[in-house]
């Protein structure tokens, strides 16, 4: 695995060991009910859990991107983020925080008002034409995810002639645009579950190691409790932790640098086991 680092306000954040990003949802309608935090007490408890269980990044999201999610205004999204980010900064002022938004205006306000360190964009700039210019101006690391369609349309019969080639072409075009604008800290997320069938998701997983190898950029994987697990195993998101850990382990073995997760403790354990395996030299 190549060794990558991110420039976080002038300090290098190393990805030589895979990192765990804990999800902090301040939405009332996330697909996994167990991850929803609404009250200030719940948000504080979730922040502490994420850090205490070993995550190095807190990912705060206020816009549900589940299939058929209700579209909310930028004002409503920002109102939710004000509460979540204020509490995160009160509890952990030095924590590395990413904000999960596709809106340039929201990204800029979060960085300016709360010192958010990373922008996590499910739309790779496609839902806000100002996003790339905003990230270039802010000079913060940018997570760019592949999605076909929007959260409201993405699971309405997604189609690809070749899902791997099309995702790679999507990344190649946007990486070039970002590099030309002076953005160098880019993290790639293939977007499991976003405009993809069960078969598409597993085909991408089978070729996952080719993403960092092709683009020479760090790789984020977000599969936690998603439909590619619970639909395959005929269970619910609440019952999908074991399947999640299996896919996390596979992703780590294929070169993932960041895992975006609901269940931090289990993901941290998977990282520790895989890292031990990777650094153990057995002599015959």
Q: Could you tell me the two tokens for 169?
A: 């072409």
Domain positions in the chain: 19-275
Closest residue by Cα to residue 261 from 64, 111, 53: 53
Q: What is the CA radius of gyration of the chain?
A: 18
User: Choosing from 46, 66, 80, 260, which is the catalytic residue?
Assistant: 260
Cα–Cα dist 102/48, whole Å: 26
Mean pLDDT of 151-176: 84
Cα–Cα dist 223/208, whole Å: 13
Mean pLDDT of 164-168: 96
pLDDT grade for 35, boundaries at 50, 70 and 90: very low
β-bridge mates for residue 261, sequence order: 22
Q: Could you tell me the two tokens for 144?
A: 């760019």
Tell me what percent of the residues of the chain surpass a pLDDT of 90.
79
Cα–Cα dist 273/117, whole Å: 28
pLDDT grade for 9, boundaries at 50, 70 and 90: confident
Cα–Cα dist 104/100, whole Å: 11
Task: Please say whether the beta carbons of 259 and 266 come within 8 A.
Answer: no
- 76 compared with 229, residue with greater pLDDT: 229
Q: Does 260 qualify as catalytic in the annotation?
A: yes
Strands 11-14 and 5-8: antiparallel
Q: Name the percent of the chain in helix, strand, coil, to the closest 5.
A: 45, 15, 40
Superfamily in which the 19-275 domain is placed by CATH: Dihydropteroate synthase-like (3.20.20.20)
Q: Does 41 qualify as catalytic in the annotation?
A: no
* Nearest 10 degrees: Cα torsion 45, 51, 57, 62: 0
User: Choosing from 196, 226, 265, 272, which is the catalytic residue?
Assistant: 226
Please tell me the pTM assigned to this model: 0.92
Q: Could you tell me the two tokens for 45?
A: 């408890």
Question: What confidence tens digit (pLDDT) does each residue in 188-209 have?
Answer: 999 999 999 999 999 999 999 9
**Burial classification of residue 199, based on how many CB atoms lie within 10 Å of its CB (0-12 exposed, 13-18 middle, 19 or more buried):** exposed
Cα–Cα dist 83/67, whole Å: 25
């Amino acid at each position: 695995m190549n060794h990558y680092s991110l420039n976080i306000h002038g300090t290098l954040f190393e990805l030589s060991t895979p990192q765990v990003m804990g999800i902090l949802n301040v939405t009332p309608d996330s697909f996994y009910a167990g991850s929803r935090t609404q009250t200030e007490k719940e948000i504080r408890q979730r922040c502490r859990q994420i850090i205490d269980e070993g995550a190095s990044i807190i990912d705060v999201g206020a816009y549900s991107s589940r299939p058929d999610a209700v579209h909310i205004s930028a004002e409503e999204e920002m109102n939710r983020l004000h509460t979540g980010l204020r509490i995160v900064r009160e509890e952990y002022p030095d924590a590395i925080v990413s904000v999960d938004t596709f809106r340039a205006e929201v990204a800029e306000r979060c960085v300016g008002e709360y010192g958010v360190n990373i922008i996590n964009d499910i739309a790779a700039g496609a839902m806000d034409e100002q996003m790339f210019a905003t990230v270039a101006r802010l000079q913060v690391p940018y997570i760019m995810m592949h999605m076909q369609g929007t959260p409201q349309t993405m699971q309405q019969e997604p189609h690809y002639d070749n899902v791997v080639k099309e995702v790679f072409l999507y990344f190649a075009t946007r990486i070039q645009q970002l590099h030309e604008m002076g953005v160098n800290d880019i993290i790639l997320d293939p977007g499991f579950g976003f405009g993809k069938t069960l078969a598409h998701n597993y085909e991408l997983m089978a070729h996952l190691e080719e993403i960092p190898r092709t683009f020479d950029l760090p790789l984020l994987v977000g599969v936690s409790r998603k439909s590619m697990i619970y639909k395959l195993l005929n269970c619910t998101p609440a019952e999908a932790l074991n399947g999640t850990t299996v896919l996390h382990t596979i992703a780590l073995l294929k070169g993932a640098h960041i895992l975006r997760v609901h269940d931090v403790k289990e993901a941290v354990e998977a990282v520790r086991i895989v890292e031990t395996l990777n650094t153990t030299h057995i002599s015959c």
